[in-house]
């Protein structure tokens, strides 16, 4: 049996902590595999992970080599056998399209003979994957092209002939990643992909037919005069019809999502048909600094767990990493970091190592950050060094490097205290809306400029503000209804565009008595541009767009803010709480069970103190107040609980980047926490820092009054707080 039990992986009768070590067999000389395995095991890791490059194993004659007859780096069979001998369980990541600075993204050169299998942009040119660290890239495949899928099927058939003998219970492999972290090779522009002939003549017309009840409604939306959907397949201007209107543009983006989802499910079906049915991992793609991922992974079987993964690395800020983790935690059965950086990629590793070393302190920081955000498991990438990489835990020959001890100490701590058993105490959900990410891709600045600000400033900015206020929060997704259920207060960045189902969902939460703080404009259209004012009618509120900077006044104070527009309410129980000049820009209604507040400007404070006071007032009105305090606002403090125990995460990320020099003098930080607010009522408490082993015996009053803790740049602490044991008290008295 392979199963998930909340925060552990159950394989047979054993429980495994979901932490793995990435090692690429084809990049590590075979003679060093054993020493690397021995040191990975000594570090406490019981799971290893590897990518499997298609182009490394299938040659131009379509023959496979997984035994390394001519090239030992191809000996996947011995690698798996050796892993089994060492007692490891395995995650395999066979692509077919992979990142990891692999040449041609793992795709074989013989595919180039078949130009019809590649994705095309709107000009008919082959789409190239975005280059990583100057590694050779290839054309991105047209995912659902039948000929391409035949090549993929041949590859996976050959691969599974080998690995199906090693799928649990016959062997160590228990999880397969479906695809990789990519959205059309990193090409997000709607016109960049995929205008492949097969898509445009077959799949796209069929997809459009599935969306519309009849040809009449389709013609109206697209400005066409065709008799039936079959005529679309012969339409000369098929490559241009998605530019006709908002609805046609959104249909095109929906089609792209459909291609991604269909492809991932096709890979899954191939594996199952070839006798491989382990757990499946779906890795999603985030645009830079944009919260909702561009793709998703929804297992077709209801009882199949949704294991959602993402890459967490130093290309993002600490805020971005934390928010990605929070998104995965709120929208997945098992949030997993498919790759979490141990070291960093580079086109010139030695030069980068000299100028921008990734310290062991930075490695500990990123691991702690992910756990604080709610990640249940991660893959340490890279545990063993490879080309285009530096500062991994082990060198290519197994030599121990500084990050090794960090991972070893982490593993020891994880065996002592099960991190995944501790849950978020967040009562606030800062709600993401996937449609905003898609609308933002459309080249219509006069309509959607402010949406760009909502997803790049308002949503992440509110998150940063809550971090500074020490108020924990989650990032549920509005298109994933169940993800909103846990939270008492919802902060929802909104635009004029929201589908009826989402508007009705919000109304249901308001009726349940939840507090809702809106920031933006009142929805009046659905995502197709059709009139949809369900929420507006319910709130008795309308907005007028006005994208400009203004001076906002509240309670005799004022602050500058970027206005999205102004408000007009017909609710007799609504009270104006802020104005810009004579225009209303914030209202609060007492007509509902909970608080309903609407502000029509960017609510993120940009650290402006008066605006922060305004945000604090809104939160206090919703009975949301911090129970943790740090004397330095740059120090993050997050608590997660398990019954009568808690983990206190402290993270100090100044300066932001991992390769900045560490300050000589530590920062003395006062930390206060009212543990009664999270259900821990014991008068005497024990604190243990899980990485260093430092211990403190305190009272709950001590902690509420404040403890002094030393922190340096990129320092991260994980304190286990629990009722003090009696023996500890006696020992302390004797001392």
Q: Which residue has the higher pLDDT, 306 or 570?
A: 570
pLDDT at 424: 95
CATH superfamily of 628-734: Golgi alpha-mannosidase II (2.60.40.1180)
Q: What's the CATH code, domain 2-114+144-188+260-421?
A: 3.20.20.80
pLDDT at 729: 44
**Percentage above 70 pLDDT, the chain:** 96
Does 42 score more than 90 pLDDT? yes
395 in Cβ contact with 343 (< 8 Å): no
- Place 417 in a pLDDT band, splitting at 50, 70 and 90: very high
Does 295 score more than 90 pLDDT? no
- Place 621 in a pLDDT band, splitting at 50, 70 and 90: very high
Where are the chain's structural domains?
Answer: 2-114+144-188+260-421, 428-621, 628-734
* Average pLDDT for 400-425: 95
Per-residue pLDDT tens over the stretch 631-653: 999 999 999 999 999 999 999 98
Distance from C-alpha of 412 to C-alpha of 419, rounded to nearest angstrom: 11
> Looking at the domain covering 428-621, what would its CATH class be?
alpha beta
Most confident of 153-157, 451-455, 725-729: 153-157
pLDDT at 657: 56
Does 302 score more than 90 pLDDT? no
- Place 659 in a pLDDT band, splitting at 50, 70 and 90: low
2-114+144-188+260-421 matches 428-621 in fold: no
pLDDT at 32: 98
pLDDT at 734: 41
To the question of pTM greater than 0.85 for the whole model, the response is: yes
Per-residue pLDDT tens over the stretch 167-223: 999 999 999 999 866 788 888 889 999 999 999 999 999 999 999 999 999 999 898
pLDDT at 655: 53
Q: How far is CA 208 from CA 13, 109, 235, 241, in A?
A: 48, 34, 14, 11
* Average pLDDT for 332-352: 95
Bridge-based pairing of strands 377-381 and 344-345 is unpaired
Distance from C-alpha of 157 to C-alpha of 151, rounded to nearest angstrom: 10
Per-residue pLDDT tens over the stretch 217-259: 999 989 899 999 989 888 888 888 888 889 999 999 999 999 9
* Average pLDDT for 463-489: 97
pLDDT at 662: 55
pLDDT at 731: 42
* Average pLDDT for 30-50: 98
pLDDT at 544: 96
At 205, is the secondary structure helix, strand, or coil?
Answer: helix
The dihedral through the CA atoms of 439, 444, 448, 453 has a sign that is positive
* Average pLDDT for 700-725: 94
At residue 587, φ and ψ (nearest 5 deg) are -135, 155
Per-residue pLDDT tens over the stretch 481-505: 999 999 999 999 999 999 999 999 9
- Place 727 in a pLDDT band, splitting at 50, 70 and 90: low
* Average pLDDT for 588-595: 96
Fill in the DSSP letter of residue 255.
Answer: H
DSSP string of 684-708, one letter each residue: EEEEEETTT--EEEEEHHHHHH-EE
Per the prediction, the chain carries an average pLDDT of: 93
């Amino acid at each position: 049996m392979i199963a998930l039990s909340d925060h552990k992986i159950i394989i047979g009768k054993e429980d495994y902590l979901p932490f793995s070590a990435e090692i690429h067999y084809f990049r590590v000389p075979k003679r060093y595999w054993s020493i690397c395995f021995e040191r990975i095991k000594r570090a406490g890791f019981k799971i290893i992970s590897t990518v499997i490059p298609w182009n490394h194993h299938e040659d131009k004659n379509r023959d496979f080599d997984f035994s390394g007859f001519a090239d030992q780096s191809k000996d996947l069979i011995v690698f798996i056998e050796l892993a089994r001998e060492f007692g490891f369980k395995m995650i395999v990541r066979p692509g077919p399209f992979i990142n990891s600075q692999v040449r041609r993204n793992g795709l074989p050169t013989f595919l180039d003979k078949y130009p019809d299998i590649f994705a095309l942009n709107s000009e008919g040119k082959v789409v190239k994957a975005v280059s990583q660290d100057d590694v050779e890239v290839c054309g991105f495949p047209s995912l659902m092209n039948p000929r391409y899928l035949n090549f993929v099927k041949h590859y996976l058939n050959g691969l599974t002939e080998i690995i199906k003998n090693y799928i649990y219970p016959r062997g160590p492999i228990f999880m397969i990643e479906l695809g990789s972290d990519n959205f059309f090779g990193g090409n997000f522009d709607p016109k960049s992909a995929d205008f492949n002939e097969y898509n445009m003549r077959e799949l796209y017309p069929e997809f459009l037919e599935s969306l519309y009840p009849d040809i009449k409604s389709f013609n109206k939306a697209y400005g066409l005069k065709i008799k039936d959907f079959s005529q679309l397949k012969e339409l000369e201007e098929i490559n241009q019809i998605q530019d006709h209107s908002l609805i046609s543009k959104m249909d095109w983006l929906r089609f792209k999502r459909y291609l991604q989802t269909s492809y991932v499910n096709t890979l899954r079906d191939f594996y199952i048909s070839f006798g491989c049915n382990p757990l499946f991992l779906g890795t999603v793609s985030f645009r830079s600094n944009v919260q909702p991922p561009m793709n998703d992974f929804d297992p077709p079987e209801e009882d199949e767990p949704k294991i959602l993964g993402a890459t967490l690395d130093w290309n993002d800020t600490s805020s971005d990493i934390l928010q990605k983790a929070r998104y995965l935690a709120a929208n997945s059965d098992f949030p997993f970091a498919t790759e979490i950086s141990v070291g960093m990629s580079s086109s010139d590793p030695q030069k980068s190592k000299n100028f921008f070393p990734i310290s062991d302190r930075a490695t500990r920081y990123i691991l702690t950050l992910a756990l604080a955000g709610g990640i249940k498991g991660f893959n340490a990438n890279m545990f063993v060094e490879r080309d285009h990489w530096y500062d991994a835990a082990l060198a290519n020959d197994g030599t121990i490097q500084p990050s090794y001890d960090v991972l070893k100490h982490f593993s020891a701590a994880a065996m002592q205290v099960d991190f995944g058993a501790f849950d978020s105490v967040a009562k606030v959900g800062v709600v993401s809306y996937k449609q905003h990410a898609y609308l933002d891709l459309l080249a219509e600045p006069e309509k959607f400029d402010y949406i760009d600000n909502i997803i790049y400033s308002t949503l992440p900015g509110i998150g940063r503000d809550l971090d500074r206020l020490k108020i924990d929060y989650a990032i549920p997704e509005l298109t994933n209804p169940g993800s909103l259920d846990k939270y008492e207060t919802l902060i929802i960045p909104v635009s004029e565009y929201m589908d009826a189902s989402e508007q009705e969902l919000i109304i249901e939460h308001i009726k349940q008595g939840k507090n809702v703080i809106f920031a933006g404009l009142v929805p009046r259209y659905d995502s197709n541009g059709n009139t949809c004012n369900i929420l507006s009618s319910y709130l008795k509120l309308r907005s007028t767009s006005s994208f400009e900077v203004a001076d906002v006044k509240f309670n005799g104070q004022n602050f500058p803010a970027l206005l999205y527009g102004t408000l007009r309410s017909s609710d007799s129980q609504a009270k104006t709480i802020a104005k810009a000049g004579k225009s209303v820009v914030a209202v609060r209604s007492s007509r509902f069970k909970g608080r309903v507040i609407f502000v029509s400007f960017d609510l993120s404070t940009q650290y402006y103190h008066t605006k922060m006071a305004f945000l604090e007032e809104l939160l206090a009105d919703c009975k949301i107040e911090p129970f943790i305090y740090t004397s330095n606002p740059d120090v993050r403090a997050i608590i997660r609980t398990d019954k009568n125990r808690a983990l206190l995460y402290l993270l100090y990320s100044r300066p932001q980047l991992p390769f900045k020099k560490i300050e000589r003098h530590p920062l003395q930080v006062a930390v206060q926490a009212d543990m009664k607010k999270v259900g821990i009522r014991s008068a005497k408490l024990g604190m243990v820092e899980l990485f260093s082993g430092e211990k403190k015996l305190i009272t709950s009053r001590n902690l509420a009054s404040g403890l002094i803790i030393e922190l340096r740049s990129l320092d991260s602490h994980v304190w286990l707080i629990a009722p003090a044991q009696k023996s500890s008290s006696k020992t302390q008295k004797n001392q």
